[in-house]
Structures are given as structure tokens and as C-alpha cells.
């Protein structure tokens, strides 16, 4: 038995098939099958029920996968545990919902890289539900998402910011009453596949507001561009970090007593071996939110060159 074999077993459990696990651990399907057979022979136990089209973990297999996670976590934490903060290196995989990618994420990652240059941060775009599943499977170390209704038992949630929803309208749109604008303008909807889209739809129904839907998009930048061109109005979360070159739009609070918000936060596995890097990432996100604004970096002053003398 080796750590590599245990990681293969965990990959099969996380991804649901030998083929998907093979891609995750960069070996062939045959190699995965061989490693699992070797474990079964060594432990003298059946890990997978192969009577199904896709092999399924047996009860004993599920119990052993849980123990295997502990062993792999302990192994991966040997060097960071000895080196302390100097051990924050390698790769940190971060998932993020689209609304965070132009302000919050780049600024926070930049701060993290400045303090820990040996740490490489990868960023994956996605919607809340899919990103949480990726974290749960171990494909991502953490994700910045909208707080779901329920937090899985083996996950850790960290509150970042409460973002109130607001109405976006073009400067050319008549009036500033959000309800009237919603009733009388084409509605550009935030994707209902996103948790944010579901919150918006629930609010519209609870307030009895019928809209004339014209588009459904999942990017805040795309929605803002459509609104900027006076193609409709939209309801979006007011991001906790703004950018200095944002489009000029009407940002209207929803009617008094009718407002609602979403909680933005980070989610990670409770047994993650990247706990130090995750903690530092959360700290940088909190600092960025306190600053509240992303501005372009200042360019270093250019030295003035003296004009060359013309030849006579």
C-alpha cells in the first residue's frame, strides 16, 4: 500500500468512476483498476460492488475511504506542520462565483501572492451549487459563494460580507422608483441556476411583481452592459468591492421595507490539508472587503529622457 494508491481510492470515491479517477490522478483506467485490486487483495476485503454498471463502494469501502482521507491528510501535512507559515506554498485551488471576479478575487489573491510568493493560486469560475460540490469532492480547496440554505456537515463556512440587492437602470431610464421601473421596463434576469437568481425570483413572487423578461444572464458584467445600453433593468447584489472604472448606471435601493440581501462567504472542507493557506486567503479577502474598492495599480514614474542632439 502506498499514499499514491490511497489517493487513487479517494479519487474513485470522489468522482464516482474509475475513468474519472484516472483523469484526476493522471493514470490509465487499467492502472486504477489494478491499484484497487491490489488494495482489496492486501486488505482481504471487497471495496467495490462490481455488479452495477458503475462500481459502487461497499459499506466497508466507504469506511476505509474515510480512514484513507485521514492518512493522506496527515501525510500531506507533514512538511507544512514542521515549517509553519513557511510551508504555505504549492497550489491553492480557489472557486469563485462570477460577481467576485472583477473586484474581490483579484485584489485578495494579489495580497496573498505578495506575502507568499511560493504559493500558486488557481481560480475556477462557477455557480454556488457546483462549486460547493467541487469543494466537497476535494477538486477545490475553497470557494467564494453565496451562502446556501444548508452547510454540509463536513464543511466549514466563513462569512465575508452581506451584499444587499439593488436595481440597476440606465441613466436614460425614466424615474427612480424601482418597482415602477420593474413593471414598465424589460427585465434582465440573473440566471435562475445561480443561488442569487433563485433569491431574486423568490423576492419578485413574494412582492407580487410581474416582470417582462427579456434576457437571462449569469455575469454581472454582461448584465451591467445590457442595462448601460438601456436594454432593460435588473436586480443584482451590490458588490462589496467596487472597481474604479465601473459603468455609470443608476443604482437604486429597493423599496423601503422590501429590501433583501445575500451573504457572501468562503466554504472549505473541515479536513482540508491546506488549512493555513485557506486561513490566509480568508484574511486577505476580509482586508479587501474593508478597503471596499479596487483601483488600478499606479504606474512607476518614467524617467525623462533628454532629446538626442541633432547632427549638424
- The grid coordinates listed for 88 are 504555505
Measured in whole angstroms, the distance separating CA 88 from the mean position of its chain's CA atoms is: 20
Same domain, 288 and 241: no
Q: How far apart are CA 177 and CA 167, in angstroms?
A: 10
Same domain, 184 and 238: yes
Same domain, 151 and 270: yes
CB neighbours of residue 4 within 10 Å: 11
Per-residue confidence (pLDDT) for residue 24, from 0 to 100? 78
Same domain, 113 and 157: yes
Same domain, 204 and 232: yes
Element (H, E) at 206: helix 195-206
Question: Looking at the 3D structure of the chain, how many domains does it have?
Answer: 3
Alpha helices by DSSP H, listed for 26-77, are 29-43, 59-76
Q: How far apart are CA 45 and CA 9, in angstroms?
A: 14
The domain spanning residue 15 has which CATH number? Answer: 1.10.10.10
Single residue among 240, 262, 284 that ends a domain in this structure? 262
Same domain, 151 and 216: no
| Cβ 91 vs Cβ 122: under 8 Å | yes
Same domain, 40 and 20: yes
The domain spanning residue 280 has which CATH number? Answer: 3.40.190.10
Same domain, 168 and 229: yes
Q: What is the DSSP letter of 270?
A: T
Per-block average pLDDT, block size 10, for the chain (312 residues)? Answer: 84 84 83 87 87 84 84 69 61 93 93 92 93 89 93 91 95 92 94 91 92 92 95 94 88 82 94 87 94 66 52 50
Task: Give the structural domain span for 169.
Answer: 164-262
Answer yes or no: is 300 within a domain: no
pTM for this prediction: 0.71
Q: What is the DSSP letter of 230?
A: T
Per-residue confidence (pLDDT) for residue 301, from 0 to 100? 47
Same domain, 152 and 281: yes
Same domain, 190 and 256: yes
Per-residue confidence (pLDDT) for residue 11, from 0 to 100? 84
Same domain, 155 and 171: no
Answer yes or no: is 247 within a domain: yes
Amino acid at each position: 500500500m502506498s499514499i499514491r494508491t490511497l489517493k487513487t481510492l479517494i479519487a474513485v470515491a470522489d468522482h464516482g468512476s474509475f475513468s474519472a479517477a484516472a483523469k484526476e490522478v493522471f493514470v490509465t483506467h487499467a492502472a486504477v483498476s489494478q491499484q484497487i485490486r491490489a488494495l482489496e487483495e492486501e486488505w482481504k476485503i471487497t471495496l467495490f460492488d462490481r455488479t452495477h454498471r458503475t462500481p459502487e463502494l461497499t459499506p466497508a469501502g466507504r469506511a476505509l475511504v474515510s480512514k484513507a482521507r485521514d492518512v493522506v491528510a496527515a501525510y500531506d501535512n507533514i512538511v507544512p506542520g514542521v515549517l509553519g507559515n513557511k510551508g504555505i506554498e504549492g497550489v491553492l485551488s480557489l472557486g469563485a462565483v462570477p460577481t467576485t471576479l472583477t473586484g474581490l478575487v483579484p485584489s485578495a489573491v494579489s495580497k496573498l501572492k505578495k506575502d507568499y510568493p511560493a504559493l500558486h493560486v488557481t481560480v475556477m469560475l462557477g455557480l454556488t451549487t457546483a462549486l460547493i460540490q467541487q469543494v466537497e469532492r476535494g477538486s477545490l480547496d475553497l470557494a467564494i459563494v453565496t451562502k446556501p440554505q444548508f452547510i454540509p456537515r463536513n464543511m466549514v463556512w466563513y462569512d465575508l460580507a452581506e451584499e444587499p440587492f439593488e436595481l440597476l437602470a440606465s441613466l436614460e431610464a425614466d424615474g427612480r422608483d424601482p418597482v415602477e421601473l420593474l413593471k414598465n421596463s424589460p427585465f434582465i434576469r440573473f440566471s435562475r441556476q445561480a443561488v442569487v437568481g433563485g433569491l431574486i425570483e423568490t423576492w419578485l413572487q413574494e412582492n407580487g411583481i410581474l416582470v417582462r423578461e427579456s434576457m437571462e444572464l449569469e455575469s454581472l458584467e454582461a448584465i451591467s452592459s445590457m442595462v448601460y445600453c438601456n436594454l432593460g433593468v435588473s436586480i443584482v447584489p451590490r458588490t462589496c468591492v467596487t472597481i474604479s472604472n465601473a459603468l455609470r448606471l443608476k443604482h437604486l435601493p429597493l423599496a423601503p421595507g422590501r429590501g433583501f440581501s445575500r451573504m457572501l462567504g468562503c466554504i472549505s472542507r473541515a479536513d482540508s490539508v491546506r488549512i493555513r493557506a485557506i486561513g490566509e486567503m480568508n484574511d486577505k479577502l476580509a482586508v479587501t472587503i474593508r478597503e471596499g474598492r479596487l483601483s488600478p495599480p499606479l504606474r512607476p514614474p518614467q524617467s525623462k529622457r533628454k532629446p538626442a542632439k541633432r547632427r549638424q
